Structure 1
Amino acid sequence: MSAADSQHTLPLPEGLVRVDGASEPPRRRMWPWIVGFAIVAVLAVAAWFAAEAIARQIVTGIVRDQVRTQLALPPEQQIDVDIAGAMLPQLIGGTIDDITISSEQVPLGESGVTGDVVVSAQGLPVRGEPDLAGATATVSLDEQQLQKLLSSLDGFPAETVGLSAPNVTMTLDLRVFGAQIPIAVALTPSADAGDIVLTPASFTLGQSEVTADALRAQFGRLTDTVLRDWDVCIADQLPAGATLTGVQVDGTRLVADFDVDGRIATDPALQQNGTCA
């Protein structure tokens, strides 16, 4: 073995061509690109969510201010605004798809009656003044609020009113030869031509439940105020663009449902309170 053969062969510097003509391409490390892309993606997502949060805060603030202004509510009135879905795409598209606004103890008209109100609107325009795609509302009253509403009815014993699902309850006194005979009445609420209608469903005399025929046979025309329906007009306490569609007792509250005319956003006549015949 010669001295040349016994010497170790040193590796060729990177990029040089081997004697046999083959070459090794330089190795490219991909992980810095992957990390860089991941960082950019994270920053983009963070920026999106930051912009989303800011946009949502601005829009909900504007909605609260408008509701307080339109309803002449005090600045401290708590108003909850819930906007479904991502805010930014809806603003870019020019329409808020679904928004729910709710508040408690909202004055209804000038009667002094208050109620808890929830309004759900679809297709709320962001720019310009086109009509809403649609809206519904619910107004719920507790026992005291309902008593105040019914106190405007002539001859109705509003101070005795209670709520026992599915009925409204009251007690009427019949005067017979100077004596007062209390009759407890359960009234089923319904909606008819925009009014709340309270229809007698059952009667209790003393400790016994009796029929309408039995009452009339025993007391005659004195029972007219007990057996009658009671029509409660609320049109003068709500915008003309809201139409009563249903009413029921839910637990300890009377809940009224309304359809809202989509033109209410642009028609001043629909924004004004309605009238009672």
Structure 2
Amino acid sequence: MAATSDPNAGAADTAVIPDGWGEPSPKRPRRGARAVIVAAVVVVVIAVLLAAADAFARSATEAQLAETIERRLPATVQGDVRAQVGGASVLWQLVTGTATEVALTSEGLTVQGAPVGVEVVARGVPLRGEGVIDTVDATLTLDEDSLNALVRAQHAPGGFSLGDGTVGYRGTLDVFGVTVSYEATARAEAAGDRVLLTPVGVEIGAGGVSVDAGDLVSRLLGGDPLEVCVADRLPEGAKLTSVQVTPERVRIEASAADVPMAAESLERTGDCG
């Protein structure tokens, strides 16, 4: 009988003999590769620590700035202030001693008891409490009640109502011995430390008494604009740059340059005299 051919015959001659663990030995990483990995880990750890330190410094700086500003507000201004420091790195700004940009906000601020919304952006702010702020841009927002409260604080007669781009002013005039009430609609315009109200329309009420309405309208529409001084509610040197009126509120923008950080300077306001 012929011998049968075995397909596995000779397999032992070509089998791979495993090492002592039964698996091929892994290659060990080179010493240079290990150094690169360690350096990368160190860089990441340092970056995380710097980010945490910068976040802590930002929070502490913002709290200190808000507290400093609140202490130096004029006596007629009350409320809490929130500060936010701009720029990429507060730590670097602390090293240089100057904040690139600081935003201050307060929705609960009151001026002589009247609620006023305030947003302030200051650039080039000394962080050591002394020196000069490069520029300050501020936005004040008042509703109709707050506006009239400020007017009454100046002992001005009449009152205001807000419209679409205009302000209504209610007052009285003496015409040939007769007291005549009127409501003049006016456009508001920023003028340095004052708001100018230029009448564009008039409604007259004389209580049934006959008066020369033509002469009265001419006096109201043809005279000088009514001036409302706001200097004593602004830091000394601040100027109004814009007045925008809607039925809900009046938005007033002001700016100042080279503002001293000294406490006595921030507490000092302009003069309406």
Name the TM-score class by shorter chain.
Answer: 0.7 to 0.9
Matched AA of 1:124:
V
- The reply on whether 1:149 has 2:150 as its aligned counterpart is yes
The CA distance in 2 between the partners of 1:48 and 1:165, in whole Å, is: 51
Whether contact under 8 Å (1:122, 1:133) holds in the other structure is yes
Matched AA of 1:260:
A
The CA distance in 1 between the partners of 2:169 and 2:100, in whole Å, is: 43
Q: What is the aligned residue count?
A: 244
Give the 3 Å change call, closer, same or farther, for CA 274–144 of structure 1 in structure 2: same
TM-score (norm 1): 0.71
Give the 3 Å change call, closer, same or farther, for CA 201–238 of structure 1 in structure 2: same
Matched AA of 2:161:
G
Q: How does 1:113-262 map to 2 (within 5 A)?
A: 113-127=114-128, 129-152=130-153, 156-158=157-159, 161-171=160-170, 184-203=183-202, 218-221=213-216, 224=219, 228=223, 229-249=225-245, 252-262=248-258
Whether contact under 8 Å (2:134, 2:258) holds in the other structure is yes
Whether contact under 8 Å (1:194, 1:245) holds in the other structure is no
Tell me whether 143-152 or 217-226 shows the greater mean CA deviation.
217-226
The CA distance in 2 between the partners of 1:244 and 1:122, in whole Å, is: 18
The CA distance in 2 between the partners of 1:234 and 1:72, in whole Å, is: 14
Query: Which secondary structure state, in structure 1, belongs to the residue aligned with residue 37 of structure 2?
Result: helix
- The reply on whether 1:273 has 2:269 as its aligned counterpart is yes
Give the drift of 1:115: 1.4
Give the 3 Å change call, closer, same or farther, for CA 153–199 of structure 1 in structure 2: farther
Give the 3 Å change call, closer, same or farther, for CA 152–27 of structure 1 in structure 2: closer
The CA distance in 1 between the partners of 2:171 and 2:164, in whole Å, is: 20
Q: How does 1:55-134 map to 2 (within 5 A)?
A: 55-71=57-73, 77-86=79-88, 87-108=90-111, 111-127=112-128, 129-134=130-135
CA RMSD of aligned residues (A): 3.8
Give the drift of 1:36: 2.2
The CA distance in 2 between the partners of 1:166 and 1:172, in whole Å, is: 20
The CA distance in 2 between the partners of 1:52 and 1:263, in whole Å, is: 27
Structure 1: 5+ residue stretches without partners: 1-6, 9-25, 207-215
Give the 3 Å change call, closer, same or farther, for CA 97–189 of structure 1 in structure 2: same
Give the drift of 1:83: 1.3
Query: Per-residue CA shift, 1:232-265, capped at 9, x if unaligned?
Result: 1111222213222332225622122222242431
The CA distance in 1 between the partners of 2:117 and 2:192, in whole Å, is: 23
Give the drift of 1:181: 8.1
The CA distance in 1 between the partners of 2:246 and 2:117, in whole Å, is: 13
Match of 1:21 in 2: none
The CA distance in 2 between the partners of 1:174 and 1:232, in whole Å, is: 18
Give the 3 Å change call, closer, same or farther, for CA 143–248 of structure 1 in structure 2: same
Give aligned-pair identity as a percent: 26
Give the 3 Å change call, closer, same or farther, for CA 195–138 of structure 1 in structure 2: same
Give the 3 Å change call, closer, same or farther, for CA 250–32 of structure 1 in structure 2: farther
Tell me whether 77-86 or 47-56 shows the greater mean CA deviation.
77-86
Q: Which aligned runs of 4 or more in structure 1 are off by greater than 6 angstroms? A: 173-177, 179-182
Give the 3 Å change call, closer, same or farther, for CA 61–155 of structure 1 in structure 2: closer
TM-score (norm 2): 0.72
Give the structure, 1 or 2, with the largest relative contact order (CA under 8 Å, sep 6 or more): 2
Structure 2: 5+ residue stretches without partners: 1-12, 15-26, 206-210
Give the 3 Å change call, closer, same or farther, for CA 239–173 of structure 1 in structure 2: closer
The CA distance in 2 between the partners of 1:238 and 1:218, in whole Å, is: 39
Query: Which secondary structure state, in structure 1, belongs to the residue aligned with residue 252 of structure 2?
Result: strand
Whether contact under 8 Å (2:72, 2:263) holds in the other structure is no
